[in-house]
Structure 1
Amino acid sequence: MPLRPLAAALLLLPLSLAAQDAPQPRLPAIDKPLPPAADRTARANVMLADYRYGDLLWENDRTAHRVYGHALEAHEPPSGSGIDAWGKNVAWPFMDRQLKSGDQHGFHGEGIDHYNVGTGRGAGGLGIWLDNKLWTSRNFVRHRILRNGPDTADFEVDYAPWPVDVARKVWETRRFTLPTGTHFTRMVSTIASDKPGPLIVGVGIGRKPTGSEGEVTIDKAKGLISWWGPDVGDHGRMAIALRVDPAMLVDVVKDADNHLALLRVTPGKPFVYYSGAAWSLGNGGFRTRADWDRHVGAEKVTFTVPPRGPNH
């Protein structure tokens, strides 16, 4: 028998009230709100912050990142090639206005930068693993923006040659692609070498980027490392994850600074991996470690190298 309109409304009412009663994250107190965004449309964005030592910033409606420019090496040694992750609680770009505020680490109403990369790999930086040590590059030296939104941020960076002990030198080009609607940036890395033979590449997540150890989930069969950061008072938690090709995975280890997925790589042959990030008080609704782990495990990934071009 069909429900009358009033009866249907009464059945729906408890669900509506339950949704309204669901706990919402309590954001930090706002210190000096940012200047209003000129456009509050959700979009993906990539830009060079030439006013801030040449950092590259990219974000979408859910997550935000940067890599550090070459000029920062002299200003903040030993600046390196780890990947920074910011939390955000708005769908439109905010990183440029946050940096220009003069207080990038404060909460000004749209997001927060309390993730300290240091000399670690941050959210998906890499290095060469040899003799139980990670050999890493300095900051990127060149960049090419392939697509600046509105649906995808897509760019490449080059890392100058760096030594792997005294055995060899390597250098890298890496492509970063972040569409809207996801917490994951796809990386396509091509590492060249002055000598032949395979390399073991360590793709990492920083162990203590917000002050102390977080909780780590490892699933080698899926090529998954998921990190749920410690609660940092009213700043909440950061969450980071890696998805790598299980067929390339040699092991998952840790050094003093990082959790590392070790991959067997052929010089000159590109390979794909994914780096994801979220903020427990921000977009995405990840309030528990279980929420984040489920999402990371369900993320649709493909390790086929995409064609190079601005529309891919």
Structure 2
Amino acid sequence: MRIHALPLLLPASIALAQDRAPLRQATPQEQRARAAVSIADYRYGDLLWENDRIAFRIYSRALEKAEPPSSSGIDAWGKRVRWPYMDRQLRTGDQHADHGEGLDFYNVGTGRGIGGLGIWHDNKLWTSRNYVRPRIASAGPQVADFTVDYEQWPVDVARTVSETRRFVLPVGTNFTRMVSTLRSNRAGPLIVGIGISKRPIAPGQLGKIIRDEKRARLTWWGPTDPAKGTMAAAVMVDPRAFAGFAEDADNYLILVRVEPGKPFVYYAGAAWDRGPDFATREAWQAQVDKETPNFTP
């Protein structure tokens, strides 16, 4: 599979210019179920990926200067249609409104969003800055497949860590499969915390969290925004590496034990109750329960 390295050309004068524009409707040819990946060089290099069921986004370093605070958490958008829509909607500058195909109303903030990670050390989550060096292996139609790096960040004074992570989202699933390789300047295992943001809709509204210790899964059904609906999320890790649950002010966390230099696999997924697949918490939980993830790197 050929890998295309994509530089980010993001002069501030260009990235800041995002005027609101009407949404361009999908053409009949575009209205087909498929996966897609794109880099929004018109909006600070946001990296967008989606399939026929769900849509995600991560942020580049350029956004840190333009719209602080920005984080290496994972954003999710509610999606009503089976075809890609994120790029067309983001270009309007009005992605937080529902134009008929879906919308972005999940607020990552400084949290982990849906499946962002950090190093859990001394009862604190130490996280990287935003992604660098995107490489797209497949932009569809059957799978969205790309890799990014997260440059060195400190874990207190104990060590520094960096990460390479591959994201794979085939058609027909709500879950992105991630293969993470962490590198450390010191030997010894790491405890990784993979998170779901606590308050991505409004302050004080936490939603419903379910911790499945036996199967090493964390499931969340969010609070309802009367105008925009409800987001849901789940993270699944390898039970053989599972190290417990934790939380901090911003996140619910599932913990895994990881050896530096050795890749590990986890899955993070999302859903929207106004999309075509999961209208209730029970339906989402049933889907999470029947997932059969492959944790072989």
TM-score of the two chains, using structure 1 as the length reference:
0.86
Q: Give the % identical residues.
A: 61
- 2:67 corresponds to 1:76: yes
Q: Secondary structure at the match of 1:233?
A: coil
Residue 15 (structure 2) aligns with: none
Cα–Cα, structure 1 residues 238 and 33, in superposed 2: closer, same or farther, change >3 Å? farther
Residue 270 (structure 1) aligns with: 263
Q: Secondary structure at the match of 2:88?
A: helix
* One-letter amino acid of the counterpart of residue 236, structure 2: R
* One-letter amino acid of the counterpart of residue 298, structure 1: K
- 2:115 corresponds to 1:144: no
Deviation readout 1:117-161 (Å, 9 max, x if unpaired): 001000000000000000000100111001110010000000010
Q: How do residues 28-67 of structure 1 correspond to structure 2 at under 5 angstroms?
A: 34-38=23-27, 39-67=30-58
Deviation readout 1:190-224 (Å, 9 max, x if unpaired): 00000100000000000111112010111111111
What CA distance in whole angstroms lies between the structure 2 residues aligned with 1:55 and 1:37?
Answer: 21
Deviation readout 1:52-107 (Å, 9 max, x if unpaired): 10110000000000000110010111211000000110011000011011211011
What CA distance in whole angstroms lies between the structure 1 residues aligned with 2:23 and 2:131?
Answer: 29
2:284 alignment partner, one of 292, 295, 299:
292
Q: How do residues 159-238 of structure 1 correspond to structure 2 at under 5 angstroms?
A: 159-211=150-202, 212-238=205-231
1:254 alignment partner, one of 233, 247, 256:
247
Residue 279 (structure 1) aligns with: 272
- 2:89 corresponds to 1:89: no
* One-letter amino acid of the counterpart of residue 180, structure 1: V
Superposition RMSD in Å: 1.0
Instruction: Report deviation, 1:283.
Output: 2.8
Residue 11 (structure 2) aligns with: none
- Unaligned 5+ segments in structure 2 are 1-20
Q: Secondary structure at the match of 1:96?
A: helix
Structure with the greater alpha carbon radius of gyration = 1
How many residues are matched?
Answer: 273
* One-letter amino acid of the counterpart of residue 58, structure 1: W
Q: Secondary structure at the match of 2:71?
A: coil
Q: Secondary structure at the match of 1:241?
A: strand
* One-letter amino acid of the counterpart of residue 192, structure 1: R
What CA distance in whole angstroms lies between the structure 1 residues aligned with 2:224 and 2:64?
Answer: 30
Contact persistence 1:44–1:149 (CA under 8 A): yes
Which one has the bigger helix percentage? 1
What CA distance in whole angstroms lies between the structure 1 residues aligned with 2:123 and 2:210?
Answer: 22
Residue 13 (structure 2) aligns with: none
TM-score of the two chains, using structure 2 as the length reference:
0.90
Contact persistence 1:34–1:109 (CA under 8 A): no
The runs of 4+ residues in structure 1 deviating greater than 2 Å are none
Q: Secondary structure at the match of 1:42?
A: coil
Contact persistence 1:217–1:225 (CA under 8 A): yes
What CA distance in whole angstroms lies between the structure 1 residues aligned with 2:150 and 2:247?
Answer: 23
Instruction: Report deviation, 1:33.
Output: 6.8
What CA distance in whole angstroms lies between the structure 1 residues aligned with 2:24 and 2:48?
Answer: 18
